[in-house]
Structure 1
Amino acid sequence: MSLRTLAATCGTVLLAQFAVSPAALAASAPGHWVTAWATALQPIPQQPNLPPLYRAPNVAGRTVRQIVYPTLSGSAVRLHVSNEYGDAPLVIQELRIARSTGGAAVQGNGGARATFDGNASVIVPPGGALDSDPVAIDVVAGAPYAISSYMGAEQRLVAWHRVSNQVNYVSLPGNHASDALSGTFGQRFTQFAWVTGLAVDVPSAATVAAIGDSITDGMRSSLNENRRWPDAFSRRLVRAGDGSTAVVNLGISGNRLLNDSPCYGDALAKRFGRDVLEHPGVKTAILLIGINDINFSSTPARAGLDCDLPHTSVTAADLVAGYERVIADAHRHGVRVFGATLTPAALPPQRESIRLAVNQWVRTSKALDGVADFDAALRDPAQPDHLRCTYDSGDHIHPSDAGYAAMADAIPLEAVVNSTRK
């Protein structure tokens, strides 16, 4: 995967100057590229009087510095840049990656520069995506790296990954991609933008993609601490002596299996191809989705921005049909799917019956390649429809850091690792 669908604007002279053909990119990047960090984008609602939660920072002519944690070590990387949901070309005038030393500070002079077909600048048309040329830099699994992008003078932020649980930074106006110190990076934000993947050249490695909603995204886990369940599972692999299995988090808070949302991105059944199958090295997916499909039918309609639209009712059969479509798509591409049971959410009886029916199918279906029984790991034995108190972050839906760790421990490690080696 070196170049995704390019919009018709690629026909212009300006965009053609920067476009990279698949053949040229493949020739410039031999090796075994495996995704070691990734995130999934969602559109930012475009309407007046947005709540502060959905107001994007001003990035025009500024440098955006984002902190990521690769889950594989290596000596060369490629950065994946996406203009998904863009309504105008994405212009990056300089892109660098460096080891983070805390906050917005980095080692050296901004680290190593990424190029695109040899060019320091790149223009990605609306709907397009590009991989950088290979960048020579030593990366250590689990260590923080800063990706700095100096943006075009007219650049707007129209898509992001909204719940990063990671503080990122926007500079004062100008090119500060090479700044080692943090002084010019005065604005903080907790989203990811544009850079949606980091691949490492590692022979014999493979990637496990965690995909789902806010419980995979790590909602209410500790800021800047990497306490989501995919993080905990990655650490569990390392403790087991496995340094060749990456884990990437493609959850989106509020996401649903069957319906798009104004705020929470495309339905998982729709985005699975883009967000999982197009990442190099993915051999296994762990799928946790459906609680928002069950709940949003009962949330009250809101004037103005209603993120829960459409308020569609679903049955267990509807969700199973959606799972089966995702599984079939994955299997066509040689990717195995482990299904995760839906975790307790203190639901009223009618909705709880749907959750229980879905979990019964996940546990017994022969359509899946394996099961991660998160429900059994988190439920209160005295109240099985509730989270165990020590695993509850306080809202009775999202786990605490301890709960996310318990989820990671519930994944059948040997079975998942074996699924990436077949």
Structure 2
Amino acid sequence: MTRRITRACRLLVVTLTAAVLQATPAPAADSPPDGVITWGTSADRIGDAAADRGYRMVVHTSVAGRDLRIRLSNAFGDRPVTFDSVYAGIQQEGAELVRGTNRQLTFDGSRSATVPAGATVYSDPLPGKLPAQSDLVVSIHTPDAAGPITGHWMAMQTSYATEGDRTAEESGAHWTDTIGSWFYLDAVSVRAAAHTGAVVALGDSITDGWQSTTDLNRRWPDYLARRLQRTDNAVKGVANEGIAGNKVLADGAGLSALNRLDRDVLSQPGVRTVFLFEGVNDIKAHTGVTAQELIDGYREIVDRVHEAGKCVVGATVAPFKGWPEWDPAAEAVRQEVNQFIRNSGEFDAVTDFDRILRSPYDHERMLPSFDGGDHIHPNDKGMQAMADAVDLGSLDCTSRR
């Protein structure tokens, strides 16, 4: 169901060497660097900040490359936040890092960065290579943070926190508080091989990974990233921009897909394709949203992605009969929306998650062997089946020119 590209583009053990850091100036805040995103997450307000706190965050990268850069976000802050010490290394086990890999990051040549309310900042490139599928650890310290904190609540990954600045330590001895969220960090990029691109998954809790196994990277975008690394596809980077409870049309659990598209998706470096898999929360909330309103939301996203010169793959809304908010009226909207996704020709390609996940005996219900237990979120096996269903060729715009 692939469409022509003319329409689509219309509208570190890592070898983060122990050499002395040679910083180069970073671009202005909010200006994406050259390169390709290798990990990303969607930002939201997740509580109130605390001063003199350290966060050691574990993230699993996708594409290999050099000169990693991180993006720190104060998108939901109401005042500036200062990061006076930021390090990146490779996870050994728990909060402990592989010896010799923990290195300090700089920002426009400085060891500290102050990010205004509503803004983001990129670090300078950190010389060295980062292999694909690395367990990267970013440690940050905020000396005087206060007010709303920006981060990602449901990480499905154990990270660590401490009092005071322990960012330079490779030992995990002082990082004794475990946390299940990422704080301030929302992207990691690298300079990848020539012509390498990335795909961003824009979604809700299914994309975010709820009901997948914590710490094992078994969200469907993780399985997709592993598939891509084993092929000669030019798209290697994968960023997971899912938010649990997120909707296409209305703010609530994070800004709506429409309202966060620019920041979470189009601003990321190297993005070639957007993979849109949202809608079930709009449908099951029973707020009066019609199929036509949801279709109009999809069309707006498609147009904006195309205007940015990127492709968009649409995924059908998965079955959720058995979830407490399911009823025949919601099912009728889902069926109408899915018919549009499959047959309208608006998307550059379609992945039919509905057909992959549904029971052959009841098309309104998820296949029991894929069901994580609540009848709406797939388990690890279901997540893998979703990733396996994606036509990898549909993710590479250049392959259809």
Query: How many equivalent pairs are there?
Result: 371
Aligned to 1:8: none
The question of whether the paired residues in 2 share the 8 Å contact of 1:291 and 1:342 is answered with yes
Q: 1:222 to 1:342 in 2, by over 3 A?
A: same
Match of 1:254 among 240, 245, 253: 245
The aligned runs of 1:55-94 (5 Å cut-off) are 59-94=50-85
Aligned to 1:285: 274
The aligned runs of 1:174-323 (5 Å cut-off) are 174-202=164-192, 203-242=194-233, 245-261=236-252, 264-297=253-286, 312-323=287-298
Q: Is 1:38 equivalent to 2:13 in the alignment?
A: no
CA drift of 1:136 comes to 1.4
Aligned to 1:369: 348
Aligned to 2:357: 378
CA drift of 1:101 comes to 0.6
CA distance in 2 between partners of 1:143 and 1:216 (Å): 20
Aligned to 1:6: none
CA distance in 1 between partners of 2:395 and 2:227 (Å): 12
The question of whether the paired residues in 1 share the 8 Å contact of 2:197 and 2:234 is answered with no
The question of whether the paired residues in 1 share the 8 Å contact of 2:207 and 2:243 is answered with yes
Deviates more, 1:73-82 or 1:278-287: 73-82
CA drift of 1:242 comes to 4.1
Q: Is 1:387 equivalent to 2:366 in the alignment?
A: yes
Q: 1:247 to 1:419 in 2, by over 3 A?
A: farther
Summarize deviations over 1:111-142 as a string: whole Å, max 9, x none: 12111110001100100111111111321111
CA drift of 1:110 comes to 6.2
Aligned to 1:124: 115
Aligned to 1:336: 311
CA distance in 2 between partners of 1:319 and 1:138 (Å): 43
Summarize deviations over 1:159-215 as a string: whole Å, max 9, x none: 2211110011101x2211111111101111111121111110112210100011011
CA drift of 1:295 comes to 1.2
The question of whether the paired residues in 2 share the 8 Å contact of 1:362 and 1:368 is answered with yes
**What TM-score, normalized by structure 1, do the two folds share?**
0.84
Identity of matched residues, %:
34
CA distance in 1 between partners of 2:332 and 2:145 (Å): 51
Q: 1:21 to 1:227 in 2, by over 3 A?
A: closer
The question of whether the paired residues in 1 share the 8 Å contact of 2:235 and 2:395 is answered with no
Aligned to 1:348: 327
Q: Which one-letter code corresponds to 2:241 in the other structure?
A: L
The question of whether the paired residues in 1 share the 8 Å contact of 2:316 and 2:352 is answered with yes
Summarize deviations over 1:249-271 as a string: whole Å, max 9, x none: 0000000000001xx11010111
Q: Which one-letter code corresponds to 1:324 in the other structure?
A: R
CA drift of 1:244 comes to 5.1
Q: 1:183 to 1:210 in 2, by over 3 A?
A: same
Q: 1:267 to 1:176 in 2, by over 3 A?
A: same
The question of whether the paired residues in 2 share the 8 Å contact of 1:59 and 1:157 is answered with no
CA distance in 1 between partners of 2:66 and 2:154 (Å): 29
Q: Which one-letter code corresponds to 2:341 in the other structure?
A: V
CA drift of 1:39 comes to 0.5
CA distance in 2 between partners of 1:111 and 1:43 (Å): 28
**What TM-score, normalized by structure 2, do the two folds share?**
0.88
Q: Which one-letter code corresponds to 2:259 in the other structure?
A: K
Deviates more, 1:322-331 or 1:159-168: 159-168
Summarize deviations over 1:274-333 as a string: whole Å, max 9, x none: 110000100101101111011112xxxxxxxxxxxxxx2201100000000101110110
Aligned to 2:18: none
Match of 2:138 among 147, 158, 171: 147
Corresponding residue SS for 1:232: helix
The question of whether the paired residues in 1 share the 8 Å contact of 2:78 and 2:148 is answered with no
CA drift of 1:418 comes to 4.5
Corresponding residue SS for 1:137: strand
Match of 1:327 among 298, 302, 315: 302
CA distance in 2 between partners of 1:415 and 1:110 (Å): 36
CA distance in 1 between partners of 2:367 and 2:328 (Å): 19
Match of 1:407 among 374, 378, 386: 386
Q: Which one-letter code corresponds to 1:190 in the other structure?
A: G
CA distance in 2 between partners of 1:161 and 1:395 (Å): 23
CA distance in 2 between partners of 1:157 and 1:420 (Å): 43
CA distance in 1 between partners of 2:90 and 2:233 (Å): 23
Corresponding residue SS for 1:384: coil
CA distance in 2 between partners of 1:77 and 1:20 (Å): 12
Deviates more, 1:83-92 or 1:130-139: 130-139
CA drift of 1:153 comes to 2.9
The question of whether the paired residues in 2 share the 8 Å contact of 1:83 and 1:127 is answered with yes
Q: Unaligned regions of 5+ residues in structure 1, if any?
A: 1-18, 45-54, 298-311
The question of whether the paired residues in 2 share the 8 Å contact of 1:341 and 1:362 is answered with yes
Q: 1:252 to 1:135 in 2, by over 3 A?
A: same
CA distance in 2 between partners of 1:388 and 1:155 (Å): 46
